């Protein structure tokens, strides 16, 4: 059984290459597909207190800050947080970063944040049920949790040593390795992800009293389609899904009509 420490080490080892990938505009699925849709869904964040959960080196954390949010970014990778802090030191945006595991947001009071955002990371968090219950704890009532994950129905996973489409092998949670070896990376790296069904995610949200209000399957931008031909695939089959949920106050009774 792979330990949490070794998954974290993978991200620490990946951090330098990840920074180049993200900051040099090489992550076009982010810039031309997922970010435009996710930030549209998040909406106006001016003066909102936002937690960027599993923030990596802080690319999207900085976007939130530029949009006027008061942002705190957390990630369990010390290296990612070091690189994020270095960027904050170069240009101050009022962002606070902490090395924290998403499953234990100690230090944050309950009912604290207006919004928790988790960009393309929940699939990498092993104990996602615990993480979602922590999100529910730190959100204020009517606060929103917005997260994106690779689309559970249309991904590629490694199951029994074989690359398989999740359209063919959907049911059953599974842990699998990802080899990041695209040419545009300065150095290849490996990480670990977890395939789960939509039902798995929705069940935990429901049990944490985070009620789903919107779901988006992003489409590429016009500019992205012109510049990056692989994005054309996303015109017929989604690459990701973004889910917005709201923390209810616990007194609602949905069992009655």
Ligand X SMILES: C[S@@+](CC[C@H](N)C(=O)[O-])C[C@H]1O[C@@H](n2cnc3c(N)ncnc32)[C@H](O)[C@@H]1O
Give the interface with ligand X as residue ranges (CB under 6 A): 11, 22, 54-56, 59-60, 75-77, 80, 101-103, 119-121, 124-125
Cβ of residue 27: shortest distance to ligand X, in angstroms?
Answer: 8
C-alpha dihedral over 7, 152, 113, 115, to 10 degrees?
130
Cβ of residue 135: shortest distance to ligand X, in angstroms?
Answer: 12
For ligand X, the closer of residues 120 and 210 by Cβ is 120
Closest CA relative to residue 205, chosen from 138, 254, 133: 133
Cβ of residue 248: shortest distance to ligand X, in angstroms?
Answer: 25
Cβ of residue 14: shortest distance to ligand X, in angstroms?
Answer: 8
Cβ of residue 10: shortest distance to ligand X, in angstroms?
Answer: 8
For ligand X, the closer of residues 164 and 191 by Cβ is 191
For ligand X, the closer of residues 24 and 226 by Cβ is 24
For ligand X, the closer of residues 179 and 226 by Cβ is 179
Cβ of residue 128: shortest distance to ligand X, in angstroms?
Answer: 9
| Contact indicator for 71, 50 with CB cutoff of 8 Å | yes
For ligand X, the closer of residues 88 and 101 by Cβ is 101
| Contact indicator for 236, 151 with CB cutoff of 8 Å | no
For ligand X, the closer of residues 75 and 244 by Cβ is 75
The Cα 49–Cα 144 span in angstroms is: 11
The Cα 119–Cα 151 span in angstroms is: 13
Cβ of residue 39: shortest distance to ligand X, in angstroms?
Answer: 12
Residue number of the CB closest to ligand X reads: 56
Q: Are strands 189-195 and 162-165 parallel, antiparallel or unpaired?
A: unpaired
For ligand X, the closer of residues 137 and 168 by Cβ is 137
Cβ-proximal residues to 141 (8 Å cutoff; 6+ apart), any chain: 111, 247, 248, 249
């Amino acid at each position: 059984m792979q330990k949490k420490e070794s998954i974290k080490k993978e991200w620490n080892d990946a951090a330098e290459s990840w920074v180049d990938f993200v900051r040099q505009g090489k992550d076009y699925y982010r810039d031309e597909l997922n970010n435009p849709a996710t930030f549209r869904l998040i909406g106006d964040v001016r003066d909102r207190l936002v937690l960027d959960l599993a923030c990596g080196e802080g690319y999207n954390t900085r976007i939130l800050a530029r949009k006027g949010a008061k942002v705190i970014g957390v990630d369990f990778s010390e290296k990612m947080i070091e690189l994020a802090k270095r960027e904050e030191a170069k240009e101050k945006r009022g962002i606070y970063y902490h090395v924290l595991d998403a499953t234990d947001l100690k230090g944050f009071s309950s009912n604290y944040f207006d919004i928790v955002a988790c960009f393309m990371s929940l699939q990498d968090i092993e104990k996602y049920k615990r993480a979602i219950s922590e999100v529910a704890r730190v959100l204020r009532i009517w606060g929103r949790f917005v997260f994106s994950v690779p689309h559970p129905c249309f991904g590629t996973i490694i199951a029994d040593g074989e690359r398989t489409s999740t359209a063919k092998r959907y049911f059953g949670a599974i842990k699998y390795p990802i080899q990041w070896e695209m040419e545009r990376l300065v150095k290849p790296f490996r990480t670990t992800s977890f395939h789960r069904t939509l039902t798995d995610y929705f069940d935990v949200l429901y049990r944490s009293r985070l009620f789903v209000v919107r779901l988006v399957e992003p489409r590429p931008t016009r500019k992205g389609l012109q510049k990056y031909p692989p994005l054309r695939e996303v015109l017929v089959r989604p690459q990701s899904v973004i889910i917005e949920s709201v923390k209810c106050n616990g007194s609602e009774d949905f069992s009655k009509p």
